[in-house]
């Protein structure tokens, strides 16, 4: 199996491990609540704790992109007019990778970095720091962008 297969296996493993971790965390919360309140004193407690835990996991999943956007402090996504080279480069790389075009943001962060985030591949977003754009040449930036777009596969 090639490197694409390894990437897909790695992504699946990440999702499985995350689900397992959240499930263990939920089980720990349930065990603590059961110990503190004693199930016979409040029989519906288990169902309430499970429902609340699932609600908070879903809520975090829903708001996490907004939190990341707030944290990067970028007001407007990159457009073909605002940064033609960056937009065109990402467009070419996503076409070659066969993934949808992510929304692109430039963060004013002083450390050279780039990352992707989002709930699904279709709603993915790419963040590139201003420092990365200033400190690397176009070939290096293209390599970093290709790496990040590889995470979307």
Active site residues: 148
Q: Is 124 helix (H, G, I), strand (E, B) or coil?
A: coil
Bridge pairing between strands 114-117 and 125-129: antiparallel
Contacts of 52 (CB under 8 A, 6+ apart): none
Residue 83 CA: distances (Å) to CA of 26, 69, 91, 120, 128: 44, 19, 12, 25, 12
């Amino acid at each position: 199996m090639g490197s694409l297969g390894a990437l897909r296996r790695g992504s699946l493993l990440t999702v499985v491990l995350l689900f397992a971790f959240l499930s263990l965390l939920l089980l720990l919360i349930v065990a603590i609540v059961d110990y503190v309140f004693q199930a016979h004193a409040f029989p519906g407690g288990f169902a309430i704790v499970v429902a609340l835990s699932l609600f908070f996991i879903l809520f975090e999943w829903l708001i996490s992109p907004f939190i990341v956007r707030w944290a990067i402090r970028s007001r407007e996504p990159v457009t073909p007019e605002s940064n033609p080279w960056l937009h065109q480069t990402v467009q070419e790389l996503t076409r070659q990778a066969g993934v949808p075009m992510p929304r692109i943001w430039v963060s004013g962060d002083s450390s050279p970095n780039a990352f992707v985030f989002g709930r699904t591949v279709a709603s993915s977003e790419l963040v590139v720091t201003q420092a990365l754009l200033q400190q690397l040449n176009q070939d290096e930036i293209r390599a970093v962008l290709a790496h990040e777009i590889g995470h979307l596969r």
